[in-house]
Structure 1
Amino acid sequence: MDNSASFDAIVVGAGLGGLSVGAILAQKEGKKVLVLEREPGIGGRAHHFKGDLINAPQDYLGPLAASTGWLVRSEPDLQSIVDDRLLAGYSFELGMHDIVNGAHSRMCHILESLGVPVEIVPLKACGFWVDGELHELKRGSFPWMDRDTYTEMRTILAAMLRMSVDEVRKHYRESLADYVQARTQNPKVLEFFDILGAFTVGMNSARELSAGEFILITRMPMAAGLHFADGTLGQMGGESFMQIAHNLASIVTAAGGAVRTEQRVTGIRVVDGRATGVTIAGADGHTYDIASDLVVSNVPISLTIDRLLPSDVVPADFVKHVHGLRSSGAFTPIFGLRTSVVDIPGMLMAKVPIDDPALQDGIVLGYEAHSLFVDGKAPHGKEIIECWVGLDTFQLRELKDTGKVNLVADAVRDFLAAQHPGFADALEWALYPAFDFVVSVAPTPEQAWDAMLDPKCPGVDGLFFVGESVKNYGGFMDGVAYTALLTATAITGTDYLAILPPYQREL
């Protein structure tokens, strides 16, 4: 590897945020970009597993750990799952992934602007569990709501859609639960917003979610002509979301840049308040410097500060603020079944009670049988179900330390077994992964937008951040795409947010 080559920009981390910025700088700005990734593959948390290629437990556990993930348990044990080739023919994600707003996603707009679009498979439905019964959402009515209840829910939504951006900002510091309760006491309306709001941004309760954040997220798909009944989400076949990473990387290399994996960056070099490049640890045990006066870190900002930057270059108040930010994680079980037990091809959501003080609100569970609408997710005639439970990072760690995370695992499995006849008999294998950090800055009432960070690093010229810590709304891949455009704009002065339709860049 030639470390003496000159690069106009260095991107640390080949997640979708870093690759997006790198691709924009390469194609739109004509820069020679070097993307460095410590792991063997690119894509960050958008890792896609093919069961036929999992030949040892580490083939699964390695990528899991690289994304702050850990395996709570498996059924049967992981070694037996591998030895018995139970995963053969299945394909699944690191954690449950969807692309928000489907083909209208911000990431899709970026890929289209770069000339490397991907094909999105839209979810075809959405279902809600209410009082032990599964209802498929319909346009114009929700089956479990009478006309007055449905009208009341629609009235609250309509008011959200009509708000100006300035009005929305007034509700950043208010929880979604408080916002809705000030407008209705109808239990079915409250439950609807609690489940939808919690799942929209991966939290476990509308009490933990900023009303302003929810309003901005909810009206994006509606402005695009999507509807709750359609799920407002999308999936991908083939290489799944890894295809996005490959397409972005191809833009970087086509412009004369490089994407290098298994490159451990040990430091970002700073001289007289300016970034001058990075230091990497070579496989031979030596360290090497690569020069560039533009560095973009796709490593979480707290880790960038603690591990990659000299201790005295960033203002102390900024460091304190970053370390005080609250993050959120997720628990994402995956089930392989020898026959299909789910018949709604979309997102299904439920509030699942748990009889323990640690989870007095229960959990909001979302799950999809991806094999119903994406080819190749499961062997013919079989089914794969991927699940999501959003949990605060500190809460998830406490559940791990006390062993009570197994209560959540039991609750998910028991719910599916009770509500989908045949589930228990059809279950061939189950993985129960959890992730400490899915969203670096959780959109709580205290943190939404204002507490998130600007792309430019204070105190260091030429150093920029990208990723969920940077100001965004929408979260997950859609939020990361927003930060990539915001970061590219901060670097170049060109308004790359203009790539998006107006309703996706209201701020």
Structure 2
Amino acid sequence: MSQSYDAIIIGAGLAGLSAAAILSRDEGKRVLVLEKQDYVGGRLVSFAGKGDGLMLNGQSLNLKSFKKTLASVYAWVARSEPTLETMFEQKMLDGYSFEAGGHATFWGTKGRVGCLLDYLNEKIPLPGNEGFSVLDPDDHTLYPVEKGGRYDWMSEDSNRTAKKLLREMAMADEDTLKQWDAISFGQWLDERTDDRKVYEYLAAVASIHMVMGEPDMIPAGDFIRFMSTAVHIGMNLISGSTGIVPKPGFVHIGERLAENVKQNGGTILNGMGVQEILIEGGEVVGVMADGPGGPVRYESKQVVCTVPIRKIFNFLPRNFLPQGLVKTVDEEFFSVGMLTGYIAVKSNLFADAGIQPKSWILVPSIIKAEEGFIGDVDIISIMPSNFEPSLAPEGSHVIAYSIALTEHELHDKDKVNRVIDLGRDIFHKTFPKMKEDTIWEIWTCSDKGFGDWPPPGAKRPDTTQPGLDGLFFAGDGYGAKTWGSGMDAAIHSALLCVDAMTGKKYVEKVLPKYHR
């Protein structure tokens, strides 16, 4: 038995749903989205506590299904206090919402997420930060940053150097940015300063926004484009650079996009894992999927694959892709991930410390690279419940940590525990009430939560590949013109993919020039 569609999309993550929404709504195509998991949103997984379980996409999860869902987005629990069993049995998570990993919107409603939602007439609040502080990990002092003000944790010379480099990033034109595409951010910094304080600060900002702990892994052009966007939208690190999504969390973006697809005639099938992309004579003719009722053939002359490139060989033979690309993927591509902590507390720690409650805090270089890590280890922290009170029960709060580590570091229990212990110690000393006010904490690792990356200077695999007519690729790891990371990159790639499929310019319709 076979069924025919105008376009088939493999994966109901942000890229797949973005492409499906535009193809069904604007192009009137009969679109089928096939999703292996029983939820939509891909890596946009958020958990909402209810009673002795958690909710996701309207489904109730117990402890076993919670762990299974984490595993589906390449994540696992590294530590919890008390035990997860105790949390579930005693209904300690009831009323709290938290993410499967470190999620954040960049530039709020003026970022790519906001632009896409506006274009599709999907109104979702994206509250952003209204403050920014740096926490010195050595003396546990908080330094609120004011627009145009000095960096009080630095010397005057370091201040001048840091501000000079930030201005250079902000004012870079496209020709200059293209030159910087060929180098790493580590090289960019090394060519401009030997000031350790400046290096640590700018490397930490880049690390958090690109989810890479080592500046030599970060494409300079990608990160600096993010920084230069601030000039065009009138925002900065103090206002709007980091944001969240109200309850139930980031998964709500996926849910709304899925509804948009369905309202415009598209079909989304969960529990349907693609087994093979069908190619005849160099042209795509459909896919074979395996669902609850057994194998099903779906026919289409256009198929979009949103699975990360190091996973696609499960259903696309290697010989169909250029062998140079396959070799580079095998030998040089790497995955980036994150250690994330969610801690429920009884008090509003940021407000009690006298900083803006909707601030984000940067803690640079809590561990130096020479201590056995690939790069300096940095922490970013926010209190999501200050951005949106519905994310915690009345009278309680949540503080979140995001720490970029490599996939290998995340599988080293000693390194993970060292980072957790040191991070907790720094925050307990900075916020004296935190230790006694902690209700529970959950730390998760995600070794592939932010896609597969080529080495700095190399482009992502493009949205089309030679000799594969009708096969397209979308996701944060695809698109020769894609820049940025995470959700921003997924949306950019999806629009470039739709343009390749239709011959039109949706990237120009949806995104202003500074986001393209």
Q: In structure 1, which of residues 304, 319, 322 is the aligned counterpart of residue 329 of structure 2?
A: 322
Once the two structures are TM-superposed, the CA of residue 4 in structure 1 deviates from its matched residue by 4.2
Aligned position for 1:359: 373
2:108 paired with 1:97: no
SS where residue 243 of structure 2 aligns? Answer: strand
Quick check: 1:352–1:415 contact (8 Å CA) kept in 2? no
In the alignment, residue 275 of structure 1 is paired with which amino acid?
V
Q: Indicate how the Cα distance of structure 1 residues 442 and 420 shifts in structure 2: closer, same or farther if over 3 A, else same.
A: farther
2:276 paired with 1:276: no
Distance 1:361 1:465 in 2: 31
Q: In structure 2, which of residues 32, 37, 40 is the aligned counterpart of residue 34 of structure 1?
A: 32
Q: In structure 2, which of residues 427, 435, 438 is the aligned counterpart of residue 427 of structure 1?
A: 438
Aligned position for 1:452: 460
Aligned position for 1:414: 425
Once the two structures are TM-superposed, the CA of residue 361 in structure 1 deviates from its matched residue by 5.0
Q: In structure 2, which of residues 465, 486, 490 is the aligned counterpart of residue 476 of structure 1?
A: 486
Quick check: 1:341–1:421 contact (8 Å CA) kept in 2? no
In the alignment, residue 361 of structure 2 is paired with which amino acid?
L
Distance 2:159 2:419 in 1: 31
In the alignment, residue 394 of structure 2 is paired with which amino acid?
H
Aligned position for 2:504: 494
2:95 paired with 1:78: no
In the alignment, residue 252 of structure 2 is paired with which amino acid?
Q
Q: In structure 2, which of residues 256, 260, 271 is the aligned counterpart of residue 247 of structure 1?
A: 256
Once the two structures are TM-superposed, the CA of residue 311 in structure 1 deviates from its matched residue by 4.5
Task: Report the more deviating stretch, 74-83 or 137-146.
Answer: 137-146
Q: Show the 5 A alignment for 1:249-328.
A: 249-284=258-293, 286-304=294-312, 306-323=313-330, 324-328=332-336
Distance 2:324 2:203 in 1: 35
Aligned position for 1:404: 415
Once the two structures are TM-superposed, the CA of residue 366 in structure 1 deviates from its matched residue by 0.7
Aligned position for 1:331: 339
TM-score, normalization by structure 2: 0.91
SS where residue 439 of structure 2 aligns? Answer: strand
Aligned position for 2:397: 383
Quick check: 1:171–1:211 contact (8 Å CA) kept in 2? yes
Quick check: 1:194–1:206 contact (8 Å CA) kept in 2? yes
Once the two structures are TM-superposed, the CA of residue 315 in structure 1 deviates from its matched residue by 2.9
Distance 1:319 1:359 in 2: 28
Once the two structures are TM-superposed, the CA of residue 95 in structure 1 deviates from its matched residue by 1.0
Distance 2:365 2:164 in 1: 27
Distance 2:237 2:321 in 1: 44
Q: In structure 2, which of residues 155, 158, 161 is the aligned counterpart of residue 152 of structure 1?
A: 161
2:372 paired with 1:393: no
Once the two structures are TM-superposed, the CA of residue 242 in structure 1 deviates from its matched residue by 2.1
Equivalent residues, number: 495
Distance 1:361 1:391 in 2: 8
Aligned position for 2:185: 176
Once the two structures are TM-superposed, the CA of residue 241 in structure 1 deviates from its matched residue by 1.9
Distance 1:36 1:85 in 2: 34
Aligned position for 1:51: 49
Quick check: 1:92–1:377 contact (8 Å CA) kept in 2? yes
In the alignment, residue 333 of structure 2 is paired with which amino acid?
L
In the alignment, residue 145 of structure 2 is paired with which amino acid?
L
In the alignment, residue 241 of structure 2 is paired with which amino acid?
T
Quick check: 1:282–1:288 contact (8 Å CA) kept in 2? yes
Distance 1:168 1:475 in 2: 16
Aligned position for 2:388: 374
Quick check: 2:451–2:476 contact (8 Å CA) kept in 1? yes
Q: Which runs of 5+ in 1 are unaligned?
A: none
SS where residue 249 of structure 2 aligns? Answer: coil
2:358 paired with 1:345: yes
Once the two structures are TM-superposed, the CA of residue 142 in structure 1 deviates from its matched residue by 3.3
SS where residue 330 of structure 1 aligns? Answer: strand
Q: Which runs of 5+ in 2 are unaligned?
A: 55-60, 352-356
Once the two structures are TM-superposed, the CA of residue 122 in structure 1 deviates from its matched residue by 1.7
Q: Indicate how the Cα distance of structure 1 residues 310 and 359 shifts in structure 2: closer, same or farther if over 3 A, else same.
A: closer
Once the two structures are TM-superposed, the CA of residue 358 in structure 1 deviates from its matched residue by 2.3
